[in-house]
Structure 1
Amino acid sequence: MDSILLCLDSGTTAVKAAAFDRHGRLLGTVERENRALRRDGSNVEQDMEITRDDALAVLRACAVQAGGTVGGIVVAGQGDGLWPVDVAGQPVGRAFTWLDGRSRPIIAELDGAGTLERIRAVTGSRPTAASQSVQLLWLARNDPSRLDRIAHALRLKEWLFLSLTGSLLGEPGAALPVWGDWRTGTVRDDVAGLLNLPRGSELLPDFLPVGECRAALSGRAAEATGLLSGTPVLLGPGDVQATLIGLGLGIRASVTRASIFGTSAIHACHTRDPSALPEQPGGAMIQQFVLGDGYLCFHPSFNGASFLQHVRRMFAGVPETVEPSYSSLLFHPFFEAGGERAPFTDPDAAGAAVGLTAVTRPEQIAWAAREALAFVARKSHDMMNAPAGALSMGGGLAADTNFARFLATVTRSPVQRPPSGHAGLRGLAAIGAKFLYGESDAALAERWIGAAAEVVQPQSGEVADYADGKFALFSQLADSVSPAWADMSRIRDSAEGLMGSRGT
Structure 2
Amino acid sequence: MILGIDIGTSVTKAALIDRDGTSHHHASTSSALIKGPDGQVEQDLDDVMDSVARVAREVVHSASGPIDAVAITAQGDGLWLRDAQGRAVRNPMSWMDARASSIVARWGEGGADSVTERVFRLTGSGVFPGSHAGLLAWLSEHEPESLEKAAVAGYCADAVLQRLTGEITVDASDASLPFLNVTTREYVTEALELCGIAKWQHLLSAPAAVDKVFTLDAAGAELLGLPAGTPVSSGPYDLQACSFGAGAEHAGDGTVIIGTTLACQVFTRDTTIRPEFEPAGMWLCTPDPDLYLRVMPSMVGTAGIDWMLSMFRLEPSDLTGLLEQSPPGANGVRALSFLSPAGERAPFVDPLARGQFTGLTIANTRADVVRALCESVVFAARHCLEVPGFDGELSASGGGVRSTAWAQLLADTMGTPIWIPHEAQVGIRGAAQVAWKRLGTPVDTDAWRQQRTRLDPNPDAHAALDAVYREYLAELGAARTRWNNA
Tell me the TM-score normalised to structure 2 length.
Answer: 0.92
Residue pairs, 1:119-138, within 5 angstroms: 119-138=119-138
Task: Write the deviation string for residues 266-317 of structure 1: whole angstroms up to 9, x where unpaired.
Answer: 1111222152879533222112332474221111112221121222234454
Q: What is the aligned length?
A: 475
Task: Write the deviation string for residues 86-139 of structure 1: whole angstroms up to 9, x where unpaired.
Answer: 243210121111111111000111111511112122212121112112201101
User: Is residue 256 from structure 1 mapped to residue 287 from structure 2 by the alignment?
Assistant: no
Q: Which residue of 2 aligns with 1:475?
A: 473
Equivalent of residue 396 in structure 1, options 385, 399, 403: 399
Q: Which SS does the other structure have where 1:392 is aligned?
A: strand
Structure 1 residue runs of 5 or longer lacking an equivalent are 489-504
Q: Distance in 2 between matches of 1:417 and 1:436?
A: 28
Q: Distance in 2 between matches of 1:174 and 1:283?
A: 16
Q: Distance in 1 between matches of 2:236 and 2:393?
A: 24
User: Is residue 369 from structure 1 mapped to residue 370 from structure 2 by the alignment?
Assistant: no
Q: Distance in 1 between matches of 2:145 and 2:257?
A: 39
Report the residue type matching 1:63 in the other structure.
V
Residue pairs, 1:98-497, within 5 angstroms: 98-113=95-110, 114-197=114-197, 199-212=199-212, 214-250=213-249, 256-275=253-272, 280-291=277-288, 293-317=290-314, 320-323=318-321, 324=323, 325-326=326-327, 327=330, 328-387=332-391, 389-439=392-442, 443-446=444-447, 449-461=448-460, 463-488=461-486
Q: Which SS does the other structure have where 2:387 is aligned?
A: helix
8 Å Cα contact 1:215/1:232 also seen in 2: yes
8 Å Cα contact 1:395/1:421 also seen in 2: yes
8 Å Cα contact 1:247/1:423 also seen in 2: yes
Q: Distance in 2 between matches of 1:307 and 1:404?
A: 17
8 Å Cα contact 1:140/1:198 also seen in 2: no
Q: Which residue of 2 aligns with 1:9?
A: 6
Q: Which SS does the other structure have where 1:280 is aligned?
A: coil
Q: Distance in 1 between matches of 2:206 and 2:265?
A: 28
Q: Cα offset for 1:69?
A: 2.0
Q: Cα offset for 1:434?
A: 1.2
Equivalent of residue 26 in structure 2, options 25, 29, 36: 29
Identity, in percent, stands at 28
Q: Distance in 1 between matches of 2:34 and 2:92?
A: 10
Report the residue type matching 1:144 in the other structure.
P
Q: Which residue of 1 aligns with 2:90?
A: 93
User: Is residue 80 from structure 1 mapped to residue 83 from structure 2 by the alignment?
Assistant: no
Report the residue type matching 1:300 in the other structure.
P
Q: For structure 1, which segment, 272-281 or 474-483, has the greater mean C-alpha deviation from structure 2 after superposition?
A: 272-281
8 Å Cα contact 2:121/2:275 also seen in 1: no
Q: For structure 1, which segment, 136-145 or 195-204, has the greater mean C-alpha deviation from structure 2 after superposition?
A: 195-204
Q: 1:87 to 1:26 in 2, by over 3 A?
A: closer
Report the residue type matching 1:247 in the other structure.
A
Q: Distance in 2 between matches of 1:349 and 1:25?
A: 40
Equivalent of residue 39 in structure 1, options 35, 41, 47: 35
Tell me the TM-score normalised to structure 1 length.
Answer: 0.89
Q: 1:429 to 1:89 in 2, by over 3 A?
A: closer
Q: 1:330 to 1:117 in 2, by over 3 A?
A: same
Report the residue type matching 1:15 in the other structure.
T
8 Å Cα contact 2:83/2:89 also seen in 1: yes
Structure 2 residue runs of 5 or longer lacking an equivalent are none
Q: Distance in 2 between matches of 1:30 and 1:143?
A: 37
Task: Write the deviation string for residues 37-72 of structure 1: whole angstroms up to 9, x where unpaired.
Answer: 122351111111101110121111111122322221
Q: Which SS does the other structure have where 1:298 is aligned?
A: strand
Q: Distance in 1 between matches of 2:136 and 2:231?
A: 32
Q: 1:138 to 1:314 in 2, by over 3 A?
A: farther
8 Å Cα contact 2:394/2:417 also seen in 1: yes
Q: Distance in 1 between matches of 2:426 and 2:102?
A: 36
Report the residue type matching 2:419 in the other structure.
Q
Q: Distance in 2 between matches of 1:395 and 1:9?
A: 13
8 Å Cα contact 2:72/2:233 also seen in 1: yes
Q: Distance in 2 between matches of 1:112 and 1:304?
A: 28
Report the residue type matching 1:366 in the other structure.
V
Report the residue type matching 1:445 in the other structure.
D
Q: Which SS does the other structure have where 1:374 is aligned?
A: helix
Q: Which SS does the other structure have where 1:174 is aligned?
A: helix
Structure with more contact order per residue of length (Cα contacts < 8 Å, sep ≥ 6): 2
Q: 1:193 to 1:405 in 2, by over 3 A?
A: same
